[in-house]
Amino acid sequence: GQNIDQPTEMTATEGAIVQINCTYQTSGFNGLFWYQQHAGEAPTFLSYNVLDGLEEKGRFSSFLSRSKGYSYLLLKELQMKDSASYLCAVVRGDYKLSFGAGTTVTVRA
Amino acid sequence: GAVVSQHPSWVICKSGTSVKIECRSLDFQATTMFWYRQFPKQSLMLMATSNEGSKATYEQGVEKDKFLINHASLTLSTLTVTSAHPEDSSFYICSARDTGVDNNEQFFGPGTRLTVL
């Protein structure tokens, strides 16, 4: 089966840094996506990791360790508009996506 | 960039009726599209993979006779919820893979909120 775990909720202050962890156990692995989803809207792409290491893209960075079945998304210089749900999604061996339940991030002034 | 549209954005129907949801890739061709369902405060659950010109493949536990999928062209897939019941009320999201690009990225539509009374 597929098992993808991420925290349910996180709260941080505007301007701060937040790290969202994701651990996974899936049947095969062909990469890991992070998506942002605002309530009632479709997910939007943030990052993709297939090799171990850190991928940096502006205020967002994503890290992957395949041997540990672990990834994190790092959000820096938090802004109010970053309040959303963040989804970890693993590309399985059959190239389909399995999603975690999502982490709701609330940014406070 | 790659854009995927869905129609309708929301629909309210009576129990027992059928509802069709369209998913279109606007600026790319998509041999493969995916249909997901998302209940409130839960994650996206893959329902089925829609393949242009062939039968859809369904995930375990998803009734193929209840959720009919047709992928008649390289830019359009439809999901028909037959004999809808209140428990089918959910947010349905489609995604599409760009046939011309060899990667795993999926582009998501804006979703369709279905409410069955």
**Tens-digit pLDDT profile for residues A23-57:** 999 888 999 999 999 988 889 999 999 999 999 98
* Cα(A46)–Cα(A75) distance, integer angstroms: 11
Residue A87 has its nearest CB partner, among B43, B104, B107, at: B43
Q: B-chain residues within 8 Å CB-CB of A89?
A: 44
* Cα(A50)–Cα(B100) distance, integer angstroms: 20
* Cα(A4)–Cα(A103) distance, integer angstroms: 12
* Cα(B31)–Cα(A79) distance, integer angstroms: 38
Q: B-chain residues within 8 Å CB-CB of A99?
A: 43-45
Q: What is the predicted pLDDT for the residue at A1?
A: 64
| A48 interfacial to chain B (CB closer than 8 Å) | yes
| Cβ–Cβ gap B104/A99 under 8 Å | no
Query: Mean of the pLDDT values across residues A72-87?
Result: 97
Chain-centroid distance, C-alpha B50? 8
pLDDT tens, chain B, 117 aa long: 689 999 999 999 999 999 999 999 999 999 899 999 999 888 899 999 998 988 999 999 999 999 999 998 999 999 999 999 999 999 999 999 888 887 788 899 999 999 999
A14, A93, B58, B78, B109 from B33: Cα distances, Å: 38, 17, 12, 10, 11
| A30 interfacial to chain B (CB closer than 8 Å) | yes
A14, A15, A101, B57, B104 from A107: Cα distances, Å: 6, 9, 19, 40, 31
Q: What is the predicted pLDDT for the residue at A39?
A: 86
Closest residue of chain B to A4, computed from CA coordinates: B43
